[in-house]
Structure 1
Amino acid sequence: MTSTSTDLHAGGLQRFRHIAIEGPIGVGKSSLARRLAAHLGADLMLEQPAENPFLDRFYEDMPGYAFQTQLFFLFQRVKQVQALAQPGMFSHAVVADFVFAKDALFAKLTLSDDEHRLYTQMYAQVAPQVGDPDLVIWLQASPDTLMQRIARRGLPMERAIEPAYLQRICDAYAEYFERYDGPLFVLGTERFNPVDRDADFHALVERLERFGGPRESFDAPGAAPLV
């Protein structure tokens, strides 16, 4: 992983050209990305799961459709993130609701050994073309909380998700970010709601503006969960 050239000791969020928000399914990545991008006047780059023709079948039959699902996401994300390097494509800062490396994280969880070996070869060919975010915000929540949020948003394709799968995803993110060597802000969302509560959002922005890195965490108490 290449290191960012961002000056972490400079003030304000304007120093971050590419902010990525990550975390497990249902943690609130897209909602927070939308609000933060609007606040910054930044471009918004969201995952497009609805474009993946295999995703519905994956949640119903993970072993049968994992490989097709991962390959579609891999090349979809390559196309999205490569655009960041094109002059004039993004004249403003960008807030994304994913990091490119998440695809390899999910592939390790879902693919068979033979499939994963083949996937890893393809991933190794495209990963060097992708730069790293200037800042990653890692959202955390327990599997029980994630299940509640997934149930509330009621997406048909997510009905088959089980707590054990969410636990594996949470564990995989913890392992990945334990080794992550870029600027990382860890945000607990069990009792903190920067999407729906203005006070929480402004508290988050203030902390991000003072981010000195390389790794900081924030888990303030709040009255409502992030949804």
Structure 2
Amino acid sequence: MKIQHNTYLSLGTNQGNKLENLQKAINSIANIVGNVQKISSVYKTPAWGFKGDDFYNICVQVSTYQNASQLITSLLQIEKNLGRLRNETKEYQNRNIDIDILLFNDEIILTKNLIVPHPKMLQRKFVMIPLAEIASNTFHPIEKKQISVCLQNIDDSSQIQRIKNKLIRPIPITEKYNYIAIEGNIGAGKTSLAKMITEEYNAKLVLERFADNPFLPKFYKDKERYAFPLEMSFLADRYQQLSDDLAQFDLFKNFLVSDYYIFKSLIFAQVTLSEDEYLLYRKMFNLIYKEITKPDLYVYLYQNTERLLENIKKRGRNYEKNIESEYLKKIQEGYKNFINTQKDLNLLVIDVSDLDFVNNKKDYNYIIDKIKNN
């Protein structure tokens, strides 16, 4: 299990649209580093150590799975992405964004690239006032005193003014959703995406147990004979698995991601079964569907048929080698009809035909942004 760390960061800017600079930095931290738990008020402060425009300063609390070394690398990259140009001079200067690590858990870190707690934080009102606002009872690991007490002892006569403008805290996926179902046609990448999201957010993963179904290889050889037992066995297995997993969330993982939703049973059955078999199957499905917990978000990955066939070929499952494009098109049409008729399900359709989210971090982040902002 990945270890989650608690860190406090100081952000400052004195160039351009200062509020926008801070908000962009917060959003980048949420996307790259971890969940932003708290944001202080914005404080207007005079430039420290040089003549320049007034700064806007804040502190934020962030929970992250990155260690301290990874964290400082990420923050430097965020500064660079937002236009920060660093040079060799050690003199104070104007900057459009500055991000410093103040505290990291209760650790004391002394390396060439990072010193924590920040060595000058106890000298600066523009750091300590916003920090005390969101972490007054947190202890400074060297001073062994609460931040609120450290603030009282600070020797800094700078004038600090809190402004009325508020910044927006990005709501993390783990707060927005408890259960996400990732769906798509055969070969769309739903299992890969579900695993990636689970890994990043330390979620509970529910994967369809298709590999254990003895009827599946037989079905691809003789669809007419084995369609009904295959669909009935899938329905029973999906119902049991989802009922068991959704009934008891992991104590340390209150966020669940599955690579299927039970309604796919009906979609595939409609394609594979004869009319009379489908009517019987539908009666059984309706009874079960009432009992299943609906996902907070249903994500459908649309992939064009050509890419689906390529992906199926790449993964090399012997029983899938005879899947034809017409069969995939029928499945696609079934999903389309399902999506168009659902009114009570929170749906998000993402076209991944031109994306490689497994190997391209930018494409993966694009999908995560879609999920976050849905």
Normalising by structure 2, what TM-score? Answer: 0.52
Report the Cα distance in structure 2 between the residues aligned to 1:128 and 1:167, rounded to whole angstroms.
Answer: 28
Report the Cα distance in structure 2 between the residues aligned to 1:145 and 1:61, rounded to whole angstroms.
Answer: 25
Contact 2:232 2:281 in 1 (8 A): yes
2:291 is equivalent to residue 129 of structure 1: yes
Q: In the superposition, relative to structure 1, how do residues 80 and 145 fare at CA in structure 2: closer, same or farther (>3 Å)? A: same
Structure 2 alignment gaps of length 5 or more: 1-169
Contact 1:74 1:103 in 2 (8 A): yes
1:143 Cα offset (Å): 1.1
Larger RCO, structure (CA 8 Å, separation 6 or more): 1
2:346 is equivalent to residue 186 of structure 1: no
Report the Cα distance in structure 2 between the residues aligned to 1:202 and 1:88, rounded to whole angstroms.
Answer: 26
Report the Cα distance in structure 1 between the residues aligned to 2:215 and 2:311, rounded to whole angstroms.
Answer: 23
Report the Cα distance in structure 1 between the residues aligned to 2:208 and 2:247, rounded to whole angstroms.
Answer: 19
Render the CA deviation track for 1:14-35: whole Å, top value 9, x for unaligned: 1211101111000101001000
Normalising by structure 1, what TM-score? Answer: 0.84
RMSD over aligned Cα atoms: 1.5
Moved more, 179-188 or 58-67: 179-188
Report the Cα distance in structure 2 between the residues aligned to 1:186 and 1:69, rounded to whole angstroms.
Answer: 28
1:207 Cα offset (Å): 2.7
| Aligned partner (choices 184, 207, 213) of residue 370 of structure 2 | 207
1:89 Cα offset (Å): 5.4
2:195 is equivalent to residue 34 of structure 1: yes
Q: Which has more radius of gyration?
A: 2
Report the Cα distance in structure 1 between the residues aligned to 2:369 and 2:270, rounded to whole angstroms.
Answer: 36
Which consecutive aligned stretches of 4+ in structure 1 deviate over 3 angstroms post-superposition? 87-91
Q: Name the SS of the counterpart of 1:21 in structure 2.
A: strand
Cross-structure match for 1:13: 173
Moved more, 118-127 or 18-27: 118-127
Amino acid at match of 2:209: Q
1:193 Cα offset (Å): 1.9
1:73 Cα offset (Å): 0.3
1:36 Cα offset (Å): 0.7
Contact 2:206 2:245 in 1 (8 A): no
The 5 A counterparts of 1:64-103 are: 64-88=225-249, 91-103=253-265
1:12 Cα offset (Å): 2.1
Cross-structure match for 1:117: 279
Among the aligned pairs, what percent are the same residue? 31
| Aligned partner (choices 88, 100, 105) of residue 267 of structure 2 | 105
Cross-structure match for 1:6: none
